[in-house]
């Protein structure tokens, strides 16, 4: 089956130009100038998708989601079906979700659990990172096996003592293992031990409202943990990727390491670019909607995060999509902020929100494509299969209407969660059509996808290592 996407502006990390995208079955077979002989030959018998007035971009790659994840005494509200469907609505055609090894469990058993949650349920393609919470000889051996199976990145936590937390020694041991297999260590960098002291002291003083979640997780404790993770990775000699970076101090630590040539990378998320501690301090219990870790920060950090995206000290925007309904889930923390499940829904709106950064002049159009699609694909071993419109790549393609307007709302979004962190926000730009491996999933604003179309993608290792 041939499909030709005609009349659009193809945007890549190197620029934007009028071009025709030629698709055969699941793959792109050509990107050609309009009027080229190859286009005329290809067009005979081909389905034609009119992309006039649209941007044609690679399907976005979200390398940080938590679907169907038990956490904070409950489970994240999107399943692999609802979460991948919402992702597709927002122009994302690949997610990399976090499988979890619990303490006392083998990595294999955690990974099997996540495969069975996802298999047959996804609308778009998916991969897994593995959360390592029990470092021992067995799990270190298993890390190497998993890399061979396409699970080539491992998240560790300096936060959440008693849940996912690992000591510096355990982290260092896993980092040494990653060095030998080429795996990337992803780090949740917050000093969880110090935070727990601050949390107990706040609760003892009767400080129970959502805003104390932010006050008890000061930005300095993220910067400190980021610097420590960088030092450990440097000595161990493994690639390090700081997840959900939210503060200027942490960014400076990453920039310094990168300046010295270390394989250190970082992502930020739309919530840190667009929301702030003011949202966490909203009236009554409303702030619970904005509880995530690291917490939303003072607005002053936002300009620096945008700068980091321009300078590539922040290479990726991911969502850290971790949705909990306000009713009954966030409400678990009524009267005690430490019991509010941590996480914000966002898988549907990353492409749209970062496009507002393009309109505001914070990043260029090519950089928008790079941070949402090309770099995450390359960072996590999916490139050039994903993240690029090029011959041989999967036909994961988004037609984006750069002038359409929309208002974000829980009443119209497709995530299985009863609120939006961006409720009522009017934005410009909207996904029009989405193809996943050549199959149309969203057609001019209508869902035409199919559960089970999405397949597991075995990933290679980090494509940025020096
Ligand atoms: O608040 C967050 N970020 N929840 C998801 C778990 C994590 O640490 O990424
Ligand atoms: Zn985290
Ligand atoms: Zn996360």
| Rg value, the chain, Cα | 21
d(CA 208, CA 285): 10
The three-state secondary structure class of 233 is helix
In this prediction, residues 246-258 reach a mean pLDDT of: 98
In this prediction, residues 12-16 reach a mean pLDDT of: 98
Q: Which of 338, 336, 317 is nearest to 267 (CA)?
A: 317
User: Phi/psi of residue 135, each to 5°?
Assistant: -90, 120
pLDDT of residue 466: 78
CA 246 / ligand 2 centre spacing (Å): 11
d(CA 319, CA 317): 7
Is the distance from CB of 99 to CB of 151 less than 8 angstroms?
A: yes
d(CA 397, CA 383): 15
Q: Which pTM does this prediction carry?
A: 0.98
Tokens of 309: 């995206």
Tokens of 448: 């035409």
Nearest CA to ligand 1 atom 8: 293
Q: What are the tens digits of pLDDT across the range 272-307?
A: 999 999 999 999 999 999 999 999 999 999 999 999
CA 153 / ligand 1 centre spacing (Å): 17
Closest atom of ligand 1 to 291 CA is 1
Mean pLDDT of all residues in the chain?
A: 98
In this prediction, residues 424-453 reach a mean pLDDT of: 98
The interaxial angle of helices 248-259 and 300-311, nearest 10 deg, is: 20
Mutate to test the pocket of ligand 1, among 156, 342, 421 (most ligand atoms within 8 A of CB): 342
Nearest CA to ligand 1 atom 3: 293
Is the distance from CB of 3 to CB of 438 less than 8 angstroms?
A: yes
Instruction: Evaluate the omega torsion of the peptide bond into residue 384 and state whether it is cis, within 30 degrees of 0.
Output: yes
pLDDT of residue 253: 98
Nearest CA to ligand 1 atom 9: 320
Q: What are the tens digits of pLDDT across the range 303-346?
A: 999 999 999 999 999 999 999 999 999 999 999 999 999 999 99
Judge whether residue 266 has pLDDT over 90. yes
Q: What are the tens digits of pLDDT across the range 158-210?
A: 999 999 999 999 999 999 999 999 999 999 999 999 999 999 999 999 999 99
User: Phi/psi of residue 436, each to 5°?
Assistant: -120, 115
d(CA 186, CA 203): 31
Tell whether ligand 1 has an atom less than 6 A from the beta carbon of residue 292. Answer: yes
Tokens of 68: 């169907």
């Amino acid at each position: 089956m041939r499909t030709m996407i005609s009349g659009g502006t193809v945007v890549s990390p190197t620029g934007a130009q009028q071009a025709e995208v030629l698709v055969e079955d699941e793959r792109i077979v050509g990107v050609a100038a309009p009027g080229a002989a190859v286009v005329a030959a290809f067009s005979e018998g081909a389905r034609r998708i009119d992309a006039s007035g649209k941007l044609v971009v690679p399907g976005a790659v979200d390398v940080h989601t938590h679907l169907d994840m038990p956490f904070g005494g409950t489970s994240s509200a999107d399943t692999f079906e609802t979460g991948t469907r919402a992702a597709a609505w927002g122009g994302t055609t690949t997610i990399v979700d976090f499988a979890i090894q619990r303490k006392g469990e083998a990595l294999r058993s955690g990974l099997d659990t996540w495969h069975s949650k996802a298999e047959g349920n996804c609308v778009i393609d998916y991969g897994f990172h593995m959360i390592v919470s029990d470092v021992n000889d067995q799990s270190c051996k298993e890390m190497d096996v998993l890399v061979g199976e396409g699970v080539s990145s491992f998240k560790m936590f300096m936060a959440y003592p008693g849940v996912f937390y690992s000591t510096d020694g355990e982290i260092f041991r896993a980092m040494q293992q990653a060095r030998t297999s080429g795996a990337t260590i992803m780090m949740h960098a917050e000093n969880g031990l110090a935070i727990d002291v601050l949390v107990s002291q706040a609760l003892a003083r009767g400080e129970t409202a959502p805003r104390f979640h932010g006050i008890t997780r000061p930005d300095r404790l993220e910067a400190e943990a980021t610097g420590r993770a960088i030092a450990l990775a440097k000595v161990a000699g493994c690639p390090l990727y700081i997840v959900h970076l939210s503060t200027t101090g942490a960014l400076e630590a990453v920039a310094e390491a990168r300046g010295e040539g270390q394989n250190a990378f970082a992502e930020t998320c739309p919530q840190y670019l667009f929301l702030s501690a003011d949202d966490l301090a909203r009236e009554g219990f409303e702030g619970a909607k904005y509880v995530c870790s690291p917490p939303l920060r003072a607005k002053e950090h936002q300009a620096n995060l945008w700068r980091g995206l321009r300078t590539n000290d922040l290479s990726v925007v991911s969502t850290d999509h971790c949705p909990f309904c306000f009713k009954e889930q966030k409400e678990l923390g009524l009267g005690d902020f430490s019991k509010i499940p941590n996480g914000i829904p966002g898988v549907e709106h990353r492409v749209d929100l970062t496009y507002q950064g393009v309109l505001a002049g914070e990043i260029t159009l090519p950089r928008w494509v790079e941070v949402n699609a090309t770099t995450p694909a390359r960072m996590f071993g999916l490139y050039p299969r994903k993240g690029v419109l090029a011959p041989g790549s999967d036909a994961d393609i988004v037609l984006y209407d750069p002038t359409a307007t929309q208002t974000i709302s829980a009443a119209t979004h497709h995530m299985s969660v009863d609120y939006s962190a961006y409720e009522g926000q009017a934005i410009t730009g909207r996904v029009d059509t989405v193809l996943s491996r050549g199959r149309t999933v969203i057609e001019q604003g209508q869902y035409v996808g199919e559960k089970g179309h999405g397949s597991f993608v075995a990933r290679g290792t980090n494509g940025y290592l020096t």
